[in-house]
Chains A and B, each alone.
Chain A
Amino acid sequence: MIRKTRRKRNWFAAAVLAAGSLLATSLPAHAETGVTISTIKLGITLPLTGAASPGYNKIGNAMDAYFKYVNDNGGVYGRKIQLIQKDDQYSPQLSIAKTNELILKDKVFALVGPLGTANFTAVHKSVGLQRRGIPSLFLNTGFSGFAIKNKYPTSFTILPSYAMEAKIVSQFLKENFAGKKLGLVYQNDEFGIDALGAFTAAGVKFDVSVPYTNGTQSAATAQTWVSQLAAGGAQVVVFFGVTSATAPLLAVAAAARYAPQWILGSVGSDPLTLQALGVPVAVLNGALTPAGNPSPNDLTDEYVKQFQEINSKYNKAAFDDYVLQGMNLGLMTVQALRAAGPGLTRRGLIRALETKGSTFASVAYSPLGYSKTSNIGHTGYYMAVMGPTGDRKPFGGTVTLYTTDSGNGPVVKSNFKRPAMPAKGLPNNS
């Protein structure tokens, strides 16, 4: 009796094993972490709460909305994309912990759009992305230090670097504000220093230069900045900082009736975020800003129009630059996944970026710099002027695109024509 039972059990176990091995053989031979026959799991760390969260906290949901749209239209080679967002509160230590969680617990296939220079530096140093071979696509930071391919072989930037931005602003200052007294307010870390180095290299000399340490911005500190700028007679003021510093700067200046020509860096000029911080957007009227993308309100732009439609159905967030950026990150990601082919692997994804990434469709006007030797994303800006509602239009009426690099290369006016938005916003590249 005992023997009979045991035989039965053995038979049952063998059947289960056989079924299991059949199942195993039907799966792709290249089974990769975070990829199943029906899903691709991606992860992002960003500040969803805390002082740095306004604006940035929209990027993840916008990406997710785009992925849901793609999923509802067949996914990527039949696989649906799952995006896991982790709140790091902009703290480097939390970024490490949350990235570890994404990798070890959630077992994501790749990171997309991780945000913050300090955060990604900490993650890269402590989590061992390179050793693990984990692709980190489209870093949400303009720090030029990440554009070192052999140091960050699995990472790819997306934004033009702060150095590129400063070089382009330098060119613009020379072309349009020669002879004016110049002021600069900059964040006293890698963000501002990246820019400062580029301004110096470009031969731009500021008559008044005001550094501030992130975390110290307030109405009281902005008062001292404005006092220094006004006392120095700055007629054109360039600001390289975050929006939480733009807000008190412009508010205090407006109250003091100090009205120089503002040139706000791309990071700190989002009108909706300023509004959320209690600053009337009217203070932006006439401010200039380097911009990579079209205005999020420009419905004549095929990308903006498509993304707005997706946003209204899948996200329902106020459509601004952050939402536009998040959607575009989604679009770029889907093209990268498609380019890697149906047999998706981490190595394949990196190879796809290196070999085909420069041809991807993207809302930004400038070329993408990806290649086997470059992990650099977009490479240029145009100058825009902001209106009383915070909306922006190209300076001079039409987009004049400047491209450059983060080093000693020249700033050139470019005739680059960006690729068309894929039909219905659904890439079909391979």
Chain B
Amino acid sequence: MKNFKLKRSLTLIAASSMLSLTLVSVPTVAQATPACTTANFVTTCLGATSDAAPYMMMVPANFNGTVYLYSHGYRPNVPVPAGIPGYGGYTVTNTPEPVPGGNAQIIGALLGKGYAVMGSGFVRQGWNADSAIKTNVELIGVFKRQFTKTTKVVAWGNSLGGFITQALAEKHPDLVSAAAPLCMASDLGPLMTMAGDALWGIKTFFDPTIKGGGYSAGQAGYAEAMGDLVKVFTVIGALQAAIAANATAPAWPATSKVPDAIKAIPSRSALVMIALMSGVPLRSAHFDSTSAPAGIPATSALAFQQAINPALAALENLANAAALAVLATHDLELQAGGAIFDNTATDYAARVAEEQFIWPIALTGASGTRGLLSFLAAAPRAKANPVAVAKLATLTSHSGKVEIPTILFTAPADPVTIGGNQQSVVDKYEAYWTEKWAANRKAGVRSKPKNNQLVLWNFAPEKYTKFTAAGSPDTTAPAATGTNHCNFSVSQYLAIADMLAYAADNGKNLSGGALLTKLRKAKNMTFDRGYVAPRMKSLGG
């Protein structure tokens, strides 16, 4: 296998998707009524709810009575210095986001149809679901008072905003007519276990000086977390360079302390092991775990398809999972009062019991798998603070019980909120529906309960890895559809918006041929009742 160079450094998507905001100047103190201005037949109102969370409303002159309430995704609650490799700089902001990413095309399309849009920037960043739900409830009241023509509120949101949206649908069906949690985070436990496993794997295999949690209080803890980010991206950079130099047997980073016997296994296999044991997908923005450069010998092509491409996918996705792990762990430990990640009882061999048969070449066969697992089994584990874990459990979680139409949409290969998040809400709703159906039958009611949940998936194409003329992977192309975090097209967002409006007007989700036509036109949206996304690893996936 010849060496190759990645045409461009792997880039992080978590940061960019979190931070693509519309920057507007908004009040930061509570106001009884918003400050509104009208231009070009659109009234734009800015204000702050009683918790000082800034909001933004945009209402067209021909307002039809339905408003879209958008909840934005996770934004770190601490700044990230510009010098941190791979991550760029980030300043904490609570700029309101009335539609996904503040996208002007989406705003224009909705306002053009007579819909209003609004969104809060929330008062606190980081994991803020409980306070954000209260903020949104208040915001709905403010909007209705300001625009008395309002008849319906539909909620949508990305990532953490998807979590908030699902919770709104479950807790406030009186306020919201329909809801669309998108690329949603579900319950914190499984989500942070995935991120924690990924970070612990990177620490254990590649740099044991990564703290990985249990951060100190105050400024010292902040410094530790930022230090971890630097170390994680230094490891990612070292692995990237090693694979570029020798894709078949890339060296281990200099910071790794694994014994020589383990170093005899290519470091790329450790990357794949981390992805598999934590549940991070092996399809990333640019690597499909299937393609090989044209013109190489058949055996080399097989090795590239099944060993090198998956390792590069793992590398690209783990960068995002680890960034989430550092930033969210730091944030949640502050909220919970101690370490939250615990893998003292985790059986990583059981986690990959099936996957090891799917990826034997990537894992350097049974002996490679055995070696990596035995090292993990003997490695020091992370222990959580039970009080902190108990506190974490008091934060809002999803019941899955919705009485209004909801539309779920995500990519199974999302590296941050992996498809298992959406699947867990699907599973919970299925259990709830089954329970209701059993109760109906017991009560002599023959009709099945209404299905309020429309589940959609954004699958990645079969093949999408691109190669340069020299045969090196080309990562300059935009991320493939169905990969990356919340990587939806405008047409997909608008299809969701249309379906939300239909659901709000009709009290049920779009179905049948009309649904399929809508999905086909939007592209890369699949309705498949039989599909079950891989479940979160801590939930048995």
Q: Report the bound CA distance from A214 to B365 in whole Å.
A: 8
A211–B365 contact, CB under 8 A?
Answer: yes
Is the beta-carbon distance between B367 and A211 smaller than 8 angstroms? yes
B202 to chain A, nearest CB (A): 24
Contact across chains for B368 and A51 when beta carbons are under 8 A apart = no
CA distance A231 to B283 in the complex (A): 43
CB <8 Å contact, B305 and A118: no
**Best-surrounded residue of B288, B305, B459 (most CB of chain A within 10 A):** B305
The interface residues of chain B lying within 8 Å CB-to-CB of A192 are 366
Q: Which listed residue (A91, A212, A217) contacts B290, Cβ 8 A?
A: A91
For B463, list chain A residues within 8 Å (CB): 94
User: Quick check: B354 and A125 within 8 Å, CB to CB?
Assistant: yes
Q: Which stretch (A126-134, A339-347, A390-398) binds chain B?
A: A126-134
* A426 close to chain B: CB less than 8 A: no
Cα separation A89 to B290 with both chains bound (whole Å): 9
Return the contact of B354 from the options A52, A121, A211 (Cβ within 8 A): A121
Q: Does A240 contact B (CB under 8 A)?
A: no
Assess whether B299 is interfacial by the CB under 8 Å rule. Answer: yes
**Min CB–CB distance B269 → chain A (angstroms):** 10
Do residues B302 and A51 form an inter-chain contact, with CB atoms below 8 A? yes
Check A188 against B365 for contact (C-beta < 8 Å).
yes
Closest beta carbon of chain B to A87's beta carbon, Å: 11
User: Judging by beta carbons under 8 Å apart, are B359 and A92 in contact?
Assistant: yes
Contact partner of A189 (CB less than 8 A), chosen from B298, B360, B526, B532, is: B360
B335 to chain A minimum Cβ distance, whole angstroms, is: 35
CA distance A146 to B283 in the complex (A): 26
CA distance A266 to B439 in the complex (A): 56
B426 located at the interface, meaning its Cβ lies under 8 Å from any Cβ of chain A in the complex: no
Interface size class of B (residues with CB under 8 A): 20 to 34
The answer to whether B358 touches A216, judged by C-beta atoms less than 8 angstroms apart, is no
Residue from the list A50, A89, A145, A215 in contact with B357, Cβ < 8 A = A145
A243: min CB distance to chain B, Å: 12
Contacting residues, chain B, for A215 (C-beta < 8 A): 299, 302-303, 306-307, 361
The answer on a CB contact under 8 Å between B357 and A188 is no
Asked if B358 and A122 sit within 8 Å, CB to CB, the answer is yes
* A202 contacts B by Cβ under 8 Å: no
Kindly provide the distance from the CB of A267 to the nearest chain B CB, expressed in whole angstroms.
15
Q: B528 contacts the other chain (Cβ, under 8 Å)?
A: yes
The reply to whether the CB of B289 lies closer than 8 angstroms to some CB of chain A is: yes
Contact status A189-B357, CB under 8 Å: yes
Q: How far is the CA of A216 from the CA of B269 in the complex (A)?
A: 14
B6 to chain A minimum Cβ distance, whole angstroms, is: 21
Residue of B nearest to A190 (CB): B357
Are A214 and B290 in contact (CB-based, < 8 A)? no
Please state if B530 and A132 are interface contacts (CB–CB under 8 Å): yes
A97 to B302, CA, bound (A): 18
Contact of A52 with B530 in the complex, beta carbons under 8 Å: no
Closest to B369 in A: A189
| A128 adjacent to B530 (CB under 8 Å) | yes
User: CA separation between A94 and B289, bound complex, in Å?
Assistant: 9
> Which A residues lie within 8 Å of B303 (CB)?
215-216
Q: Taking the nearest CB of chain A, how far is it from the CB of B429, in angstroms?
A: 16
A90 close to chain B: CB less than 8 A: yes
Contact B366 A189 (CB under 8 A): yes
Q: Are B306 and A125 interface neighbours, CB within 8 A?
A: no
Pair B366/A188 contact, Cβ less than 8 Å: yes
* Cα(A51)–Cα(B299), bound, Å: 6
Q: Which residues of A contact B77 (CB under 8 A)?
A: none
If the complex has contacts A50-B298, A126-B534, A211-B365, are A91 and B360 also in contact, measured as CB distance less than 8 A?
no
Q: Which of A93, A128, A187, A213 contacts B364 (CB 8 A)?
A: A213
A193 within 8 Å of B by Cβ?
A: yes
Instruction: Report A-chain residues with C-beta under 8 Å of the C-beta of B260.
Output: none
Residue on A with the closest CB to B361?
Answer: A215
Within 8 A of B (CB), among A88-139: 89-94, 97-98, 100, 103-104, 117-118, 121-122, 125-128, 131-132
Cβ of A128 to closest chain B Cβ, rounded Å: 5
- Neighbouring B residues of A92 by C-beta, 8 Å: 289, 306, 358-359
Interface string of A144-187 (1 = CB under 8 A from B): 01000000000000000000000000000000000000000001
With known contacts A93-B289, A118-B359, A193-B366, A128–B299 Cβ distance under 8 A? no
CB contacts (< 8 Å) of B282 on chain A: these are 93
A145 cross-chain contacts in B, Cβ below 8 A: 357
| Complex contacts, A94 vs chain B, CB 8 Å | 290, 462-463
A143 on interface, CB distance cutoff 8 Å: yes
Q: Can you name the residue of chain B whose Cβ is closest to the Cβ of A126?
A: B534
Given contacts A213-B368, A215-B303, contact A121 B358 (CB under 8 A): yes
A-contact 0/1 string along B303-316, CB 8 Å cutoff = 10111000000000
The answer to whether A52 and B302 touch across the interface, beta carbons within 8 angstroms, is yes
Which chain A residues lie closer than 8 Å to B354 at the CB level? 121, 125
A406 at the interface (CB under 8 A from B): no
How long is the Cα–Cα vector from A79 to B444 in the complex, in angstroms? 43
Query: Once the chains bind, are B360 and A213 in contact (CB under 8 Å)?
Result: yes
Interface string of A307-334 (1 = CB under 8 A from B): 0000000000000000000000000000
Q: Is the CB of A214 within 8 A of B289?
A: no
Measured CB to CB, the residues of B under 8 A from A are 282-283, 288-290, 298-299, 301-303, 305-307, 354, 356-361, 364-368, 459, 462-463, 526, 528, 530-532, 534
The 5 closest A-B pairs by CB, nearest first: A188-B365, A189-B360, A51-B298, A215-B303, A51-B302
| Residues in chain A within 8 A of chain B (CB atoms) | 50-52, 89-94, 97-98, 100, 103-104, 117-118, 121-122, 125-128, 131-132, 143, 145, 187-190, 192-193, 211-218, 244
Seed contacts A90-B302, A125-B358, A131-B532; 16 additional CB < 8 Å A-B pairs: A50-B302, A51-B298, A92-B306, A93-B289, A93-B290, A94-B290, A98-B462, A104-B528, A126-B534, A128-B532, A189-B366, A193-B366, A213-B360, A215-B302, A216-B303, A244-B299
27 contacts between A and B (CB under 8 A): A51-B298, A91-B289, A91-B306, A92-B289, A93-B283, A93-B289, A93-B290, A94-B463, A97-B462, A98-B462, A118-B360, A122-B358, A128-B531, A188-B360, A188-B365, A188-B368, A189-B357, A189-B360, A190-B357, A211-B366, A211-B367, A214-B361, A215-B299, A215-B307, A216-B299, A216-B303, A217-B299
